[in-house]
Amino acid sequence: MLALLCVKGYSGMEGFWGALPIILIVLFFLSRGLANRQRHSELVNTFSKIQKKRKSRIIAVVHRTEPMGLLGIPMLSYIDLNDAEDILEAIRKTPPNKPLEFVMHTPGGLVLPALQIARAIKAHPGRTTVFVPHYAMSGGTLIALAADNIVLSEHAVLGPIDPQIDGLPAASLVRVAQDKPIQTTDDYTLILADVGAMAINQLQSAARELLSGTVSENAAISIAEQLSSGRWTHDYPIRHAEALELGLNASIDMPKEIMQLMALFPDTVRRNSGVKYIEEEAAAISDNGQRVTMTGYAPRQGARSFSYGPWNPKELKQPRRSENDDRPLWRKLL
């Protein structure tokens, strides 16, 4: 009888260990689903509060490194046709006279969806604004050109919109075809140069179209030519002062709530940031109404966290526990 129970117990444990990988996989996906639901709820609540305060429709276009597929291979996201579908739908659902406010954080992307988004913004009857907390390069800048106002944070940047053909600057391909004798230039390079010249002309025309009514006609021609002609490298950062020199309607009056929105879009791939900092001083109001200065404290050896106020001011007056306080009772008695 005892032997039979042992055999049954062994079989049960064997079945448990066999099912353990499946249980762990199910728990993993359940935890991810719960985390996504919580994040979505936080996004909805925050967006609702800010939209109500600003009396506008806020659309965030935030591209970061994201895990792709089951293996979670990190890839930098960019403006694509899926973005265009979602944004065009959001704009269609926005009342005509309601202001549109875009939060752009993107390295750029495909010309087609970027131009679709930009033209939809341009056609919106209400006031339109593009906020750039950190950067909106290439296609992001093309979208920004369509807005009535562009608002950058202090060190945020825009970028050139010169087209890239097969990974190469179109303007450089055109110059190579012009400078080299045609007898020494292969057909593929000549074809790329021809396509590049068409792409430059198309983007210049599109940029002038998007800028019409926002700046003067001469300014629109000048801005479009400088941004698309290959004057700079494609990753050249255009700061606020240079944007003004170009003739863009740009300011640095970035609302605090717009900057706070970026905290809702963390990089899900880079779990541990290489940047660490704490503020020199922070202030909190104690229970009795007195202001108490908070300072960070270093944890004891082996701790896994670093805390930074505010705390209960009464706790600041308590002496710090020594390492001996954490010893087991039998060690203290020795």
Tell me, yes or no, whether 293 lies in a domain. yes
Tell me, yes or no, whether 14 lies in a domain. no
Strand partners, 164: 169
Tell me, yes or no, whether 244 lies in a domain. yes
**pLDDT (tens digit, 9 = 90+) per residue, 118-129?**
999 999 999 999
Domain identity same for 54 and 155 = yes
Domain identity same for 323 and 225 = no
Average pLDDT, the chain: 79
**pLDDT (tens digit, 9 = 90+) per residue, 166-221?**
899 999 999 999 999 999 999 999 999 999 999 999 999 999 999 999 999 999 99
Tokens found for residue 229:
């002609």
Domain identity same for 119 and 81 = yes
Nearest-angstrom CA–CA distance, 276 and 321: 26
Domain identity same for 247 and 308 = no
Tell me, yes or no, whether 13 lies in a domain. no
Domain identity same for 84 and 187 = yes
Tell me, yes or no, whether 312 lies in a domain. yes
Tell me, yes or no, whether 159 lies in a domain. yes
Mean pLDDT of 80-84: 94
Tell me, yes or no, whether 38 lies in a domain. no
pLDDT at 276: 66
User: Model pTM?
Assistant: 0.72
**CATH code of the domain covering residue 86:** 3.90.226.10
Total domains, the chain: 2
pLDDT at 57: 93
Domain identity same for 313 and 190 = no
Domain identity same for 219 and 249 = yes
Read out DSSP for 40-93?
A: HHHHHHHHHHHHHHHTSEEEEEE--EEEETTTTEEEE--B-HHHHHHHHHHHHT
What range defines the domain where residue 293 resides? 282-333
Domain identity same for 105 and 194 = yes
**pLDDT (tens digit, 9 = 90+) per residue, 89-111?**
999 999 999 999 999 999 999 99
Of the residues 211, 233, 264, the one at which a domain ends? 264
Domain identity same for 231 and 286 = no
